[in-house]
Amino acid sequence: MPATHHAPVLILGSGPAGLTAAIYAARAALQPMLVAGLQPGGQMTITTDVENYPGFAATIQGPWLMEQMQKQAEHVGTRFVQDQIVTADLSRRPFACTGDSGDVYTGDALIVATGASARWLGIPGEEALRGFGVSACATCDGFFFRGKKVAVVGGGNTAVEESLFLTNHATQVTLIHRRDSLRAEKIMQTRLFANPKVSVVWDTVVEEVLGSGTPAALASLKLRNLKNGASSTLAVDGLFVAIGHTPNTGLFKDQLAMDREGYIVARPGSTETNIPGVFAAGDVQDRVFRQAVTAAGTGCMSAIEAGHFLARAEAVARAAQ
Ligand code: FAD
Ligand code: NAP
């Protein structure tokens, strides 16, 4: 029998944004309830070394950092729920979100911190060979390519980080990028270019992913050079797609104001959305920075703003009595 669970502050997402919002909301006695989603801990759980989260002089591990954040949020009194929200009704307060389990979660204020998911190339063969050589997570699947040849597509921090990580397992890593320069941080590029296992194919796109055998496994990639139009084939055992992420905001379409790419539009300098009482924190509303520390920062802002909103709403209700 589906149940309804209510909290003054309902938080969707358990990445750095949602967990930081939970820590601040709990410490402000707002009794937050957090729905963790399918990826408890968020994107940082699929990476290894983290060197830029302040407070740690030594390199730390992404999953460990998220475990610590979750423990901190629990310790101060956050109620955690393991469910994935499938529909949301933001037309009235309390806002109501229905989980995959059938349970309904309501909140007088809502913090949307559902983050972002890996983007795919959308080329022939990619979907059919996912799990059979095609992946979007080197940390998760790199081990399966011990002693093999792999390719990575992309030119950002993720692509470079995935390439470097894969050199721990694969014999050869080919980074394929559509332009002639990377957008990854310089320190990462220096490490990449210095690694003898890595070669970079510039100005090139993957047009098709080709499999062989039964069941079919990835065998090669059909490439095209964008400068001279030349086609070629690259034999690889693994393909790691690292071309960025799409914000997880489909649930809120036609309810929350979004930009063309689906990022929630928050009022500048704030996490307020177009619906009073609904706040957006982390990668869902950040098309520029998309870092754990900025997600945590906006998570903090959202909890403080949710607290102010509830206090104002209570004062209005009291005055009307
Ligand atoms: P996310 O971490 O994306 O978390 C989203 C949460 O929402 C998840 O818990 C998910 O389960 C939940 N969710 C989604 N949909 C629903 C739903 N329908 N219902 C309920 N819950 C839902 N940043 C750094 O600062 N340093 C790094 O070293 C670094 N390394 C990275 C390495 C990789 C491979 C990647 C992909 C990213 C890296 N980043 C790094 C970026 C960083 O991970 C993100 O900026 C950060 O995780 C964003 O946090 P978030 O809380 O907004 O969302
Ligand atoms: P990103 O910075 O958006 O980079 C995506 C890359 O993929 C770009 O180089 C882009 O090419 C390429 N690309 C996009 N669509 C493509 C397509 N259809 N075909 C081929 N190539 C395509 O994404 P990201 O690397 O995942 O990083 C996301 C955020 O997380 C960033 O803010 C990043 O700093 C952060 N992050 C940080 C760390 C760290 O601090 N160590 C690690 C990982 C991620 P163009 O360059 O031509 O646009």
SS3 assignment, position 203: coil
Q: What percent of the chain has pLDDT over 70?
A: 100
Catalytic sites, residue numbers: 137, 140-141
Q: Are 143 and 280 in contact (CB under 8 A)?
A: no
DSSP 8-state class, residue 297: H
Return the ligand number nearest the Cα of 264. 1
pLDDT per position as a tens digit, 6-31:
999 999 999 999 999 999 999 999 99
Closest CA to 30 of 11, 5, 8: 8
Global pTM exceeds 0.75: yes
User: Looking at residues 123-130, what average pLDDT do you find?
Assistant: 95
pLDDT tens digits for range 150-188? 999 999 999 999 999 999 999 999 999 999 999 999 999
3-state helix, strand, coil in the chain (%, to 5): 30, 30, 40
Ligand 2 pocket test target in 243, 245, 261, 287 with most atoms within 8 Å of CB: 243
Percent of the chain with pLDDT over 90: 90
pLDDT confidence band for 209 (50 / 70 / 90) = very high
Answer whether 34 contacts ligand 1 (Cβ < 6 A).
no
Range list of β-strands (E), the chain:
4-12, 33-35, 49-50, 60-61, 79-81, 85-89, 95-99, 104-112, 116-118, 134-135, 149-153, 172-176, 198-201, 204-212, 217-225, 231-235, 238-241, 245-247, 278-280
- The upper half-sphere exposure of residue 136, i.e. CA atoms within 13 Å in the direction of its Cβ, equals 14
Neighbouring C-beta atoms of residue 236, cutoff 10 Å: 25
**What value does the mean pLDDT take over residues 193-211?**
98
Q: Which ligand is nearest to the CA of 138?
A: 1
- With beta carbons less than 8 A apart as the criterion, state whether 242 and 136 touch: yes
Q: What is the average pLDDT value for the chain, to the nearest integer?
A: 96
Q: What is the pLDDT of residues 65-105, one digit of tens each?
A: 999 999 999 999 999 999 999 999 999 999 999 999 999 99
User: Is the pLDDT assigned to residue 139 strictly greater than 90?
Assistant: no
Helix ranges, 76-168 (H): 138-141, 157-166
Q: Is 232 helix (H, G, I), strand (E, B) or coil?
A: strand
Pocket of ligand 1 contains residue 113 by CB under 6 Å: yes
Check if 153 has its Cβ closer than 6 Å to any atom of ligand 2: yes
How far is ligand 1, taken at its centre, from the CA of residue 275, in Å? 24
User: 116: closest CA among 146, 89, 144, 136?
Assistant: 136
Say if ligand 1 is within 6 A of residue 12 CB: yes
Given this model, what pLDDT does residue 55 score? 97
Say what the pLDDT of residue 168 is: 96
DSSP letter, residue 44: G
